Structure 1
Amino acid sequence: MSKKCIIDRFEGEFAVIEYGRKAFDFPKALLPAGVREGDVVSIQATIEKVDTEDIKKKIDDLTKKLFRD
């Protein structure tokens, strides 16, 4: 699902983005090149299932090493 947001302003390495009645900081590096104040952008998040499973396995392995007898 994609949500449309407005670029309010830039502060350092972040864009302040308005979504509804809320504003939040978002890394400029993740926005399209050439984006400017006042632009409307769509933000979409996806779950990277393979990466998620890899991270879970690494955490599980570290936990086992930490708590083994």
Structure 2
Amino acid sequence: MQKGIIDRFEGDLVVIEIENSTINIPRKKLPKEVNVGDQIIIDGDHIALDTEGTKKLRAEIDTMADDLFEE
């Protein structure tokens, strides 16, 4: 099992960042509701949206942005 983050969409491919590298997966193999920045779980041929992981990741990014732009 691996966790990855949706980096971008390129035509029929989805670019996924996994451990500081990227892989390309056909868009049709992912759930339709995935968006850029979402965290996913890849378990063999099964790919699922990690809703809780995505929420935590976005909260961490929001905190870092708040810290960066504090007056």
User: What TM-score bracket applies, with the shorter chain setting the length?
Assistant: 0.5 to 0.7
> Which secondary structure state, in structure 2, belongs to the residue aligned with residue 34 of structure 1?
coil
TM-score by length of 1: 0.62
Pair 1:3 & 2:13 matched:
no
Separation in structure 2 between the aligned mates of residue 21 and residue 28 of structure 1, nearest angstrom:
21
Match of 1:20 in 2: 19
The amino acid across from 1:10 in the alignment is F
Separation in structure 2 between the aligned mates of residue 24 and residue 3 of structure 1, nearest angstrom:
12
Matches within 5 A, 1:1-69: 2-45=1-44
Structure 2, unaligned runs of 5 or more: 46-71
Structure 1, unaligned runs of 5 or more: 47-69
Q: State percent identity of aligned pairs.
A: 40
Q: What's the CA shift for 1:33?
A: 1.4
Q: What's the CA shift for 1:24?
A: 1.2
Separation in structure 1 between the aligned mates of residue 27 and residue 15 of structure 2, nearest angstrom:
9
CA deviation string 1:13-60 (max 9, x = no partner): 0000000110111111000111000000000116xxxxxxxxxxxxxx
